[in-house]
Structure 1
Amino acid sequence: MELNRSKIVDENFKRRVLANDFPIPHSQTTPEQAGLDKNTYFELFDSQLVSRHLDLLARILREQQQGFYTIGSAGHEGNAAIAKAFRKTDISFLHYRSGAFVIQRAKYEPQIDMMYDQVLSLVASSEDPISGGRHKVLGSVPLYIPPQTSTIASHLPKALGCALSITLAKALKRDETQSTLPNDSVVLCSFGDASFNHSTAQGALNAATWIQQAQLPLSLLWICEDNGIGISVPTPAQWIQDKVSHQDIHYIACDGRNIADVYLAAKQAEVLARKKGQVVFLHFKTVRLLGHAGSDIEFQYHTLVEIEKAESDDPLLHTARVIIENQWLTPLEVIEAYENVRKALAERANLALKRPKLASKEAVMASIVPPKQNMNEFLSKDYIPPTSLLNMAQAINAALAEILLQYPQTLVFGEDVAKKGGVYHVTADLQARFGKIRVFDTLLDEQTILGCAIGLAHNGFIPIPEIQFLAYTHNAADQIRGEAATLSFFSNGQYTNPMVIRIAGLAYQKGFGGHFHNDNAIGFLREIPGLIIACPSTAKDAALMLKQCVKLAQAEQRVVVFLEPIALYMLKDYHAKGDNLALCHYPKQEEIFFGEIGLEGDIKSKRAIISYGNGMLLARQAAHILERNYQMTIKLIDCRWLAPLPVAALQTALSEIEEIIIVDECRQTGSLSEQLVTWIVENISPLPAIKRICAQDTFIPIGNAWQTILPNCQDIVETVLQLDSMKRSF
Structure 2
Amino acid sequence: MDPATRVHEAFLRRVKDGDLPDVTGRAADAGLGADDLLALFRAQVTSRQLDRVARVLQSKGQGFYTIGSSGHEGNAAIAHALRVSDPAFLHYRDAAFQIARAGQVPGQTPLWDMLLSFTASSDDPTSGGRHKVLGSKALNIPPQTSTIASHLPKAVGAAFAIGMSRRMPPEVAEWPADSVVMCSFGDASLNHSTAQGALNTAGWTTYQGTPLPLLFVCEDNGIGISVKTPKGWVADSLKSRAGVAYFTCDGLDIVDTYRTAKDAADWVRKRRRPAVLHMTCVRLYGHAGADVEASYRPKDEIAGQEANDPLIHSAARLIAEGVADAQGVLDIYTGIWAETEALAEMAVSRPKLGDAAQVAASLIPPKRDVPRLNGPDPALRAEMFGAADMRALDDPQPMNKLLNLGLADLMLETPSLVMAGEDVGKKGGVYGITKGLQARFGPGRVIDTLLDEQSILGLSIGMAQQGFIPMPEIQFLAYLHNAEDQLRGEAATLPFFSNGQYANPMVLRIAGLGYQRGFGGHFHNDNSLAVLRDIPGIVIGCPSTGADAVAMHRAAVRMAREDGRVVVMVEPIALYPMRDLLAEGDGGWLTHYPDQGIEIAPGDLGIHGDGADLAIVTYGNGHYLSRQAQARLADQGVNARVIDLRWLAPLDPAAIMAAVEGCARVLIVDECRRSGSQSEALMALMLEHGRPDARRVTAEDCFIATGPAYAATLPSADGILAAAKEICA
Q: Which amino acid is 1:298 matched to?
A: E
Q: Which moved more, 1:479-488 or 1:641-650?
A: 641-650
The alignment status of 1:188 with 2:178, answered yes or no, reads: no
Q: What's 2:473 paired with?
A: 466
Q: Tell me how far apart the structure 2 counterparts of residues 244 and 6 of structure 1 sit (CA, whole Å).
A: 32
Alignment of 1:73-472 (within 5 A): 73-172=69-168, 174=169, 178-248=172-242, 249-379=244-374, 381-382=377-378, 383-384=381-382, 386-387=392-393, 388-472=395-479
**Structure 1 residue 332: Cα displacement:** 1.4
Secondary structure of 1:290 counterpart: coil
CA distance, structure 1, for counterparts of residue 568 and residue 599 of structure 2: 18
Q: 4+ runs of 1 displaced by more than 6 Å?
A: none
Q: Answer whether contact 2:91 2:147 (CA < 8 A) is retained.
A: yes
CA distance in structure 2 between the partners assigned to 1:327 and 1:690 by the alignment: 81
- Given that residues 128 and 499 in structure 2 are in contact (C-alpha distance below 8 angstroms), is that contact kept between their aligned partners in structure 1? yes
Which of 636, 647, 664 matches 2:642?
636
Partner of 1:11 in structure 2? Answer: 9
Q: Does 1:698 align with 2:705?
A: no
Question: What CA distance in whole angstroms lies between the structure 1 residues aligned with 2:527 and 2:405?
Answer: 26
Residues 226 and 296 in structure 2, CA contact (< 8 A), matched pair in contact too = yes
Alignment correspondent of 2:566:
559
User: Quick one: which amino acid aligns to residue 638 of structure 1?
Assistant: D
Amino acid at match of 2:134: L
Aligned to 1:626: 633
Contact 1:377 1:554 in 2 (8 A): no
Residue 599 of structure 1 is aligned with which of 598, 607, 613? Answer: 607
Whole-Å Cα distance in 1 between the matches of residues 398 and 133 of structure 2? 47
CA shift at 1:24, angstroms?
4.7
In 1, distance between residues paired with 2:57 and 2:330?
Answer: 23
Could you tell me how far 1:429 is from its partner in structure 2? 0.3
Normalising by structure 2, report the TM-score. Answer: 0.97
Partner of 2:385: none
Distance in 2 of aligned mates of 1:75 and 1:688: 60
Report the alpha carbon displacement of residue 347 of structure 1 after superposing the two structures with TM.
Answer: 1.4
- In structure 2, the residue matched to 1:489 is 496
Q: How far apart, in 2, do the equivalents of 1:29 and 1:75 lie?
A: 22
CA–CA separation in structure 2 for the residues paired with 1:23 and 1:679: 68
Q: Which amino acid is the alignment partner of residue 31 of structure 2?
A: G
CA distances 1:614-643 after superposition (whole Å, capped 9, x unpaired)? 00000000001111x213211110011111
Q: 1:519 deviation in Å?
A: 0.3
1:579 deviates by 1.1
1:552-577 Cα offsets, whole Å, 9 max, x none, are 10111000100000000000000111
Contact map agreement 1:611 1:638 (CA 8 A) in 2: yes
- The AA in structure 1 aligned to 2:722 is E
1:657–1:688 Cα contact (<8 Å) kept: no
Shift of 1:394: 1.3
| Correspondence for 1:71 | 67
**Structure 1 residue aligned with 2:727, among 707, 723, 726?**
723
Q: CA deviation at 1:663?
A: 0.4
Corresponding residue number in structure 2 for 1:526: 533
- Give the partner amino acid of 2:720: I
Contact 2:541-2:649 within 8 A present in 1 as well: yes
Instruction: Provide Cα deviations, 1:427-471, integer angstroms capped at 9, x if missing partner.
Output: 000000000100010000000000110000010000000000000
User: What is the alpha-carbon root mean square deviation over aligned residues?
Assistant: 1.2
Q: Distance between the aligned counterparts of 2:18 and 2:351, measured in 1?
A: 44
Counterpart residue identity of residue 200, structure 2 = N
Deviations 1:635-670 (A, max 9, x none): 110011111112221121123222011000000000
Matched, 1:40 2:47: no
- Aligned position for 1:650: 656
Contact 2:614 2:728 in 1 (8 A): no
Match of 1:675 among 670, 676, 681: 681
Which ranges in structure 1 are unaligned for 5 or more consecutive residues?
726-730
User: C-alpha separation between the residues in 2 aligned to 1:412 and 1:61?
Assistant: 48
**Would you say the 8 A contact 1:660–1:688 is kept in 2?**
no
Deviates more, 1:446-455 or 1:654-663: 654-663
Deviations 1:568-617 (A, max 9, x none): 00000001111112112211332212221110012x52410000000000
Segments of 5+ residues of structure 2 without an aligned counterpart are: 383-389
**What is the distance in 2 between the residues matched to 1:181 and 1:102?**
17
Amino acid at match of 2:216: W
2:328 and 2:29 map into 1 onto residues whose CA distance is 25
Q: Report what 2:55 is aligned to.
A: 59
Structure 2 distance, partners of 1:99, 1:298, is: 22
Give the AA of the match of 2:416: Q
Q: Secondary structure of 2:103's partner? A: helix
Other structure's SS at 1:171 match: coil
Question: Would you say 1:666 and 2:672 are equivalent positions?
Answer: yes
Q: Tell me, yes or no, if the aligned pair for 1:658 and 1:688 is still in contact at 8 Å.
A: no
TM norm structure 1 = 0.96
Q: Distance in 1 between matches of 2:640 and 2:224?
A: 60
Report the alpha carbon displacement of residue 706 of structure 1 after superposing the two structures with TM: 3.0
For this pair of structures, how many residues does the alignment match?
715
The residue that corresponds to 2:387 in the other structure is: none
How big is the shift at 1:44? 0.4
Which residue does the alignment assign to 1:728? Answer: none
Following superposition, the deviation at residue 366 of structure 1 comes to 0.6
- CA shift, 1:304, in A, is 1.0
Secondary structure of the residue aligned to 2:702 is coil
Contact 2:704 2:711 in 1 (8 A): no
Letter in 1 for 2:685: W
Paired letter, 1:665: E
1:123 counterpart letter in structure 2: T
Offset at residue 178 of structure 1 (A): 3.0
Q: What is the CA–CA distance in structure 1 between the aligned matches of 2:421 and 2:487, rounded to whole Å?
A: 16
String of CA shifts for 1:684-724, please: whole Å, max 9, x gaps.
Answer: x3x25211100000111111223321110011111111112
Shift, 1:377, TM fit = 2.9
* Aligned residue among 500, 504, 518 for 2:507: 500
* CA distance in 2 between partners of 1:298 and 1:595 (Å): 54
Contact 1:488 1:495 in 2 (8 A): yes
CA contact (8 A) 1:659 1:688 kept: no
CA offset digits 1:473-506 (Å, max 9, x no partner): 0010100000000001111111100000000000
